[in-house]
Structure 1
Amino acid sequence: MDVICQAKSGMGKTAVFVLSTLQQIDPVPGQVSALVLCHTRELAYQICHEFERFSTYLPDLKVAVFYGGVNIKVHKDLLKNECPQIVVGTPGRILALAREKNLSLKNVRHFVLDECDKMLESLDMRKDVQDIFKLTPHDKQVMMFSATLSKEIRPSQTEESHCHESQSVCKRIFKKVPDTDTVKGISTEWCPMEIYVDDEAKLTLHGLVQHYIKLKEEEKNRKLNDLLDALDFNQVVIFVKSVSRAAELDRLLIECNFPSICIHSGMSQEERLKRYRGFKDGHSRILVATDLVGRGIDIERVNIVINYDMPDSADTYLHRVGRAGRFGTKGLAITFVSCSSDVDVLNNVQSRFEIDIKQLPEQIDTSTYSNAIVEDIAFALGQRLSCLDGPVTWTKLLYR
């Protein structure tokens, strides 16, 4: 069954298509049976890891990930020597390998797009996805997933859509046979099962506490330092709007004795993945990032997200804050508001998702945004609670 599915962030969309694919796949040596496309290298790496984790007891199944920033010869050699049955990757690298005949897609039975709306909104990526789709068989399962699916890209939105281009793209991607094909006089135009959240208010995470702070641009650094010193956090992600701001804020935090790392598109792929793995494994507690990690990335210990810079849209806001409070856990999202355009985005978020985001109070109850066990985190940090004097805070655990 083919499906386009919407569900809130942090509720297991990746597990749905990973387990569904593993349940159905009939691996044949030397043939790619499943193809998963996503928009960033970090997300591709994470999805590949999930396939590997869930296929532990499927010893004959091989999974591989392909993305740019890595010498393409490495990928060509891998495909030549040990062709995987499941391929995960970004559209640009997958298309390059397919066009050069290093990657055969003629036996693909499962075609998955994660964060599909993000891939369809970029003209270049959209074209790559379409070209890849044309290289796969008509007879396959197609699955598309995202937390945000505008009506303009949904296959069922035909006459109602005001954005015909986006709508027609989605229909073309899903279309498996020409519209003129018929079977015994019956049209065979294909339509997927469409699963949507009927009320956008349901897209917000119930365990996520959301607040804003109104301040001037020049006050952001001081306020951020105060928050990091006062809040109890397992891990925190701080979102900024540009590569230069990410690098500068990371430098300032380190100067203030907050051991942060940053991830942005200006880094080499090797360095980005190294830092991503380190943060995911808990080696660092503070991550400064652009929207490169705003979608799909699952770091289970993140319980606080700070929007140092307001995102450009309500959709981006939803994806960013969804890095905290995942899988029903508690979390806290704090957004800095410093100009009129920030206010506009915040108002849009509140009206669209029917939430009341209040100003951050002077005192906030830790139990409303954190359900971590202090002893467990302390152990992970190699600390012992018995050596700490007075109340235990993350500042003590992190910077002792």
Structure 2
Amino acid sequence: MSSEKKRYVPKNQAPKSAAESRPVDTRFRTEDVTNTKGNEWEDYFLKRDLLMGIFDKGFDKPSPVQEESIPVILAGQSVIARAKNGTGKTAAFVIPILEKCDTTISNIQSVVLVPTRELALQTSSVIKELGKYLNIECMVSTGGTPLREDIYRFYKPVHILVGTPGRILDLASKEVADLSKAHVLVMDEADKLLSQDFQPILEQLIEYFPNDRQILMYSATFPIHVKDFSGKYLPNAHMINLMDELTLKGLTQYYAFVQEKKKVHCLNTLFSKLQINQAIIFCNSTLRVELLAKKITEIGYSCFFIHSKMQQLDRNRVFHDFRNGGCRCLVSSDLTTRGIDIQTVNVVINFDFPKNSETYLHRIGRSGRFGHLGLAINFITDDDKENMFMIERELDTEIQPVPQVIDKSLYT
């Protein structure tokens, strides 16, 4: 008998055609997803039905952050993981919590905390897609929606709860959500969850979890307040850091010095020169988001806009339509800088340059998702020069002047 490992094929699945079974072309994928140890999904001894969901999702092999995370989480250890946006962080914690979930128990077994409703919906979608053969019930609960609807939902089993800290604390304090058997707490975009807005809520919420809880913290950046929290609640956590040299892999960064009154003209020029699949254009305030979206429409391009002051239903509709290809451009505040995964976005434009390196990193990380190439173009006024130099120093990167012609192979 041959000792070669056989490839797992889900039961009742038709054999793939020659085209479908061709190896994945990694020539235009960056090493933060291709530089793996060579592990296969079968190496983790996952449930058959979970493997079926993984392959249905199109995941060929684990990415580095998944290779580092999955065995440690399955062993029951807490994790602090730092990895670039778009390298498979969500699946890195979703796959093990699906594996650990016992559907014969109707209690909440895992809670995933995220800073925004958009990210909660996206994470829930990944859970449902990967776990579609497992009969696992996943519920989303965030602020901005009627609490009564969430209360009714708890009349049925909930195995995994995804939501924002304030709403989940509200449910726990009202004894609607029983977290006493939720042994896994995931904090996605942990740096944002531990900001001044969220940290007091989070520390109250942790008291509702069992003492032997397993905490999984994921983010691209870990400021000092995250280190303080981890020292208190995760003193023996397993550390994963895949960011030392890979922070901005695959992203080409340019700047254009431009007067404020010339920004729209410059944007119009870029639209005519770039090969945009989809683009996100960032502004520093909600008012400027709406004004810019109006200007873009006036010069003849269709676009959506989204910001935190919009009604939740309107935000949901815009995000859903943009994700499904309803429009090529989205003008946004920093609402969409956290974990929003739209792989067709290949261009990010900072119409207004951000104030700090963390925001910059999260913004431009909306392009170049899961190892694909991306382009970031920054409009710089005289007031932004010092900020740009500071961000270059802090991220140990170089933002180059925009050339007359941008090579399409850099971002397509």
Fold conserved (TM > 0.5)? yes
Contact in 2 for aligned 1:28/1:85 (Cα 8 Å): no
Q: Hey, what's the Cα distance between the residues in 2 that align with 1:339 and 1:71?
A: 46
Q: Hey, what's the Cα distance between the residues in 2 that align with 1:317 and 1:335?
A: 10
- Look up the match of 2:246: 202
Does 2:388 match 1:346? yes
- Look up the match of 1:395: none
- Look up the match of 2:289: 246
Does 2:367 match 1:291? no
Which of residues 139, 152, 161 in structure 2 aligns to 1:77? 152
User: Against the structure 1 CA distance between its residues 316 and 274, is the aligned structure 2 distance closer, same or farther, given a 3 Å change threshold?
Assistant: same
Which of residues 118, 132, 140 in structure 2 aligns to 1:42? 118
Q: Hey, what's the Cα distance between the residues in 1 that align with 2:373 and 2:241?
A: 24
1:353-378 deviation line (CA, Å, top 9, x unaligned): 222211101111112211xxxxxxxx
Does 2:400 match 1:355? no
- Look up the match of 2:13: none
- Look up the match of 1:171: 231
How many residues are aligned here? 336
Paired residues for 1:117-196 under 5 Å: 117-122=191-196, 124-151=197-224, 153-154=226-227, 167=228, 169-174=229-234, 190-196=235-241
Q: Hey, what's the Cα distance between the residues in 2 that align with 1:152 and 1:127?
A: 12
Contact in 1 for aligned 2:190/2:226 (Cα 8 Å): no
Structure 2 letter corresponding to 1:195: I
Q: Hey, what's the Cα distance between the residues in 2 that align with 1:125 and 1:133?
A: 12
1:57-97 deviation line (CA, Å, top 9, x unaligned): 112x10010011111111111112x2310000001111111
Secondary structure at the counterpart of residue 176 of structure 2: coil
Structure 2 letter corresponding to 1:359: P
Q: Hey, what's the Cα distance between the residues in 2 that align with 1:344 and 1:112?
A: 36
Does 2:175 match 1:101? yes
Q: Hey, what's the Cα distance between the residues in 2 that align with 1:146 and 1:284?
A: 29
Does 2:109 match 1:65? no
Paired residues for 1:328-347 under 5 Å: 328-340=371-383, 342-347=384-389
- Look up the match of 1:306: 349
CA RMSD of aligned residues (A): 1.3
Cα displacement (A) at 1:153: 2.7
Cα displacement (A) at 1:238: 0.2
User: Against the structure 1 CA distance between its residues 274 and 198, is the aligned structure 2 distance closer, same or farther, given a 3 Å change threshold?
Assistant: closer
Structure 2 letter corresponding to 1:117: D
Structure 2 letter corresponding to 1:265: S
Secondary structure at the counterpart of residue 203 of structure 1: coil
User: Against the structure 1 CA distance between its residues 192 and 324, is the aligned structure 2 distance closer, same or farther, given a 3 Å change threshold?
Assistant: same
TM-score in terms of structure 1 length: 0.81
- Look up the match of 1:394: none
Ranges in structure 2 where 5+ consecutive residues have no aligned partner:
1-76
Contact in 2 for aligned 1:130/1:173 (Cα 8 Å): no
Q: Hey, what's the Cα distance between the residues in 2 that align with 1:232 and 1:16?
A: 32
Q: Hey, what's the Cα distance between the residues in 2 that align with 1:265 and 1:308?
A: 18
Q: Hey, what's the Cα distance between the residues in 2 that align with 1:302 and 1:283?
A: 13
Does 2:104 match 1:52? no
Contact in 2 for aligned 1:133/1:173 (Cα 8 Å): no
Q: Hey, what's the Cα distance between the residues in 1 that align with 2:117 and 2:289?
A: 18
1:209-253 deviation line (CA, Å, top 9, x unaligned): 110000111111111111112211100000000110111111111
Q: Hey, what's the Cα distance between the residues in 2 that align with 1:148 and 1:39?
A: 15
Structure 1 letter corresponding to 2:179: L
Does 2:319 match 1:276? yes
Which of residues 239, 250, 259 in structure 2 aligns to 1:216? 259
Q: Hey, what's the Cα distance between the residues in 2 that align with 1:196 and 1:207?
A: 18
- Look up the match of 2:106: 30
Which of residues 304, 309, 314 in structure 2 aligns to 1:266? 309
Structure 2 letter corresponding to 1:55: G
Structure 1 letter corresponding to 2:388: L
Contact in 2 for aligned 1:8/1:203 (Cα 8 Å): yes
Structure 2 letter corresponding to 1:69: G
Q: Mean Cα displacement is larger for which, 24-33 or 250-259? A: 24-33
